[in-house]
């Protein structure tokens, strides 16, 4: 019986570890702050004559934290989530062989910050196209967190599950001329169960580079009055993806009637640069 229980506990342990690994791959890229670690900027792009870049790390928590930094490869799915990969597919190029960074680990006390330096290397070997890998900042758990219960032991097998937090940010190298285009297709409206208005649409990308920008939605009434219905920053469609399906929760504004008028949807380059309109479309409301 004890051997059977031990096998069951071991299977449970392995399944939990697998879940944690999947969570690390899917969630980090969605935010610039997680587990009390704040990163700026949220993405690194080497293009033109740029050869060096810096990332500022800050510990916003109350405890000292250590982070190990590594390069990983992820692929964006059509729903915007990510999966970790080890080999590039058709139309994908990894950037890891051309990137150096230092340090490879940092320890930050409360409210402390540090800079990680990134250098483009062997750029003479690059042919035209886009190369992408992700810098992954993985938190190293404390050896014995305060208040932690002792792990359960059965038949000599110790079960100890610790959630691991991390953030990944893309490091992109662009070589040659850009011929990328993006469009917005199939806009539609739905009401979620809690009556939140939700906009559905699809980003369509073609060309040799990824796209990245901000989405804004304006409601235009039948009388021509314009009200902001929603905005979201930092939406990417990475190579080699041709499409990304997206949902945006819109504002429940008293001046907006989602059954009349129309929505004007605009996708522009990021606000921190000179904003350029990349795509736009309208959705007539009924």
Over residues 59-95, the pLDDT tens digits come to 999 999 999 999 999 999 999 999 999 999 998 999 9
Residue-wise pLDDT for 1-10, tens only, equals 444 444 444 4
pTM of the model: 0.80
Q: How far apart are CA 132 and CA 126, in angstroms?
A: 12
Task: Judge whether 213 and 267 are in contact, CB under 8 Å.
Answer: yes
Q: Average pLDDT for residues 178-198, to the nearest whole number?
A: 91
Write down the pLDDT at residue 180.
96
Q: How far apart are CA 101 and CA 89, in angstroms?
A: 25
- 181-284: CATH, from 1.10.10.10, 3.40.50.970, 2.60.40.10, 3.40.50.150: 2.60.40.10
The residue with greater pLDDT, 283 or 13, is 283
Write down the pLDDT at residue 160.
56
* Banded pLDDT at 279 (limits 50, 70, 90): very high
Size (the chain), residues: 286
Instruction: Check if 2-175 and 181-284 are the same fold.
Output: yes
- Where are the chain's structural domains? 2-175, 181-284
- Strands 44-46 and 166-175, how do they pair? parallel
CA atoms within 13 A on the CB side of 85: 16
What is the CATH number that goes with domain 2-175? 2.60.40.10
Report which of 185, 236, 238, 235 is spatially closest to residue 208, judged by C-alpha positions.
Answer: 238
């Amino acid at each position: 019986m004890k051997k059977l229980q031990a096998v069951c506990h071991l299977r449970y342990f392995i399944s939990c570890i697998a879940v944690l690994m999947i969570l690390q791959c899917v969630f980090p890229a969605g935010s610039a702050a997680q587990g009390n670690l704040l990163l700026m900027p949220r993405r690194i792009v080497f293009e033109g004559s740029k050869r060096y870049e810096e990332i500022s790390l800050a510990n916003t928590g109350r405890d000292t934290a250590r982070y190990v930094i590594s390069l990983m490869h992820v692929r964006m799915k059509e729903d915007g989530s990510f999966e970790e990969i080890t080999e590039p597919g058709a139309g994908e190029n990894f950037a890891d062989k051309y990137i150096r960074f230092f340090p490879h680990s940092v320890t930050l006390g409360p409210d402390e910050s540090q800079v990680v330096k990134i250098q483009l290397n062997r750029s003479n070997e690059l042919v035209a196209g886009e190369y992408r890998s992700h810098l992954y900042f993985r938190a190293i758990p404390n050896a014995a967190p305060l208040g932690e219960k002792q792990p359960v032991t059965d038949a000599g097998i110790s079960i100890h599950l610790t959630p691991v937090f991390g953030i990944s940010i893309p490091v992109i190298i662009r070589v040659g001329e850009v011929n990328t285009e993006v469009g917005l297709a199939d806009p539609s409206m739905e009401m979620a169960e809690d009556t939140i208005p939700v906009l559905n649409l699809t980003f369509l990308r073609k060309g040799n580079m990824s796209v990245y920008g901000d989405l804004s939605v304006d409601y235009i009434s039948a009388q021509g009055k314009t009200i902001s219905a929603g905005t979201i920053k930092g939406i990417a469609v990475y190579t080699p993806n041709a499409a990304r399906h997206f949902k945006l929760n819109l504002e429940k504004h008293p001046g907006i009637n989602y059954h009349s008028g129309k929505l004007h949807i605009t996708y522009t380059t990021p606000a921190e640069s000179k904003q350029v309109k990349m795509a736009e479309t309208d959705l007539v409301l009924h």
